[in-house]
Structure 1
Amino acid sequence: MSKSLIVYGSTTGNTETAAEYIAEEMASKDMDVELKNVTEIKINDLEQSYDIILFGCSTWGDEEIELQDDFIPLYDSLEDAGLKDKKVGVFGCGDSDYTYFCGAVDAIEEKLEKMGAVIIGNSLKIDGDPERPAITEWAKEIVEKI
């Protein structure tokens, strides 16, 4: 059984809801899924033997890199996580009215790539409220690539 970790940072609850949809879909495919709010994670938790780690972060504001507040400490310490060659994926909610739609997703993905992590599939950028069908489809594609 594959083991996965989903770490999310959510202010309004949209990214948390998306994370829950992803976790449900992965569990339905016989995966062992841990779902954790970013406030519950220590950097060394990421070094456990997960087959994949998914990072979910909402984007706030109009800056190029505008991470959800709770996610900032994890983002700042990712280099200490030893994620080289680890399979990862990134998702998040944002608002396409901003110049940098889901900029947090792009920033996290870029940092993970620079660290040598293996990005599995395209990132998922959700405009506004999470819609289960699109999120479930993304999760299915991720599971197929593990």
Structure 2
Amino acid sequence: MNTLIVFTSMTGTTEMMAYALAEAIEKTGDEVVVKDAFDSFAEELTAFERILVGCPTWGDGDLSDEFIDFYEEMVQVDLTGKKAAAFGSGDSSYEHFARAVDILEEGLKTCGCDIITNGLKVDSRSCDEEEIQAKCKWFVEKLMIEKQGCVKL
């Protein structure tokens, strides 16, 4: 299965997640393309079977400004039947922890995507690189369950 990961990052945490996810997916034998949202067009999503989008949460629950243009394009594209999931970082001191992940999932659903699993949220305040790597590996294991046809989460 080919996968496109589109992300934006402000502090580097979501970027680290994107590349950790890509590395774990590649270990399963799948092909992965990783792109920054600034260098992506939403129409590109149609060429991939699996789509992962990642964005940090800004303020008290918004998408970061760097992702908004891509998101607004994305929700206009028909992605019916594509497998998708969202990921991102947030700060647990805010009331709406990593809410950007929830917004991304809703946007993917609006496009017609089948959400493979609940989004991956990482606390940028308390997670170190090793913990982020472990969470990304676990997330990819959940993605692969769907690929094998065992369970749809």
- What corresponds to 2:150 in structure 1? none
Distance 2:30 2:87 in 1: 19
Aligned to 1:145, the other structure's residue is in SS state helix
Q: TM-score with structure 2 length normalisation?
A: 0.88
With structure 1 as the length reference, what TM-score do the two structures score?
0.92
Aligned to 2:7: 8
Aligned to 1:94: 90
Cα RMSD between the aligned structures? Answer: 1.2
The aligned counterpart of 1:132 is 133
Displacement, 1:81? 1.8
Q: Which runs of 5+ in 2 are unaligned?
A: 148-153
- After superposition, what is the alpha-carbon deviation per residue over 1:75-100, rounded to whole angstroms, capped at 9, x for unaligned? 11223221122110000000111111
Q: CA deviation at 1:115?
A: 2.8
Confirm whether residue 60 of structure 1 aligns to residue 58 of structure 2: yes
Contact 2:43 2:77 in 1 (8 A): yes
Identity %: 35
> Following superposition, which runs of at least 4 residues in structure 1 exceed 2 angstroms of deviation?
none
Question: Contact 2:77–2:111 (CA<8 Å) still a contact in 1?
Answer: no
Q: Within 2, Cα distance between the matches of 1:143 and 1:132?
A: 17
Aligned counterpart, 1:73:
69
In structure 1, stretches of 5+ residues that fail to align are none
Aligned pairs, number = 142
Instruction: Tell me whether 1:105 sits opposite 2:101 in the alignment.
Output: yes
Tell me which amino acid in the other structure corresponds to 1:140: E
Q: Which residue does the alignment assign to 2:41?
A: 42
Contact 2:76–2:111 at 8 Å: present in 1 too?
no
Pick aligned residue for 1:119 from 111, 115, 121: 115
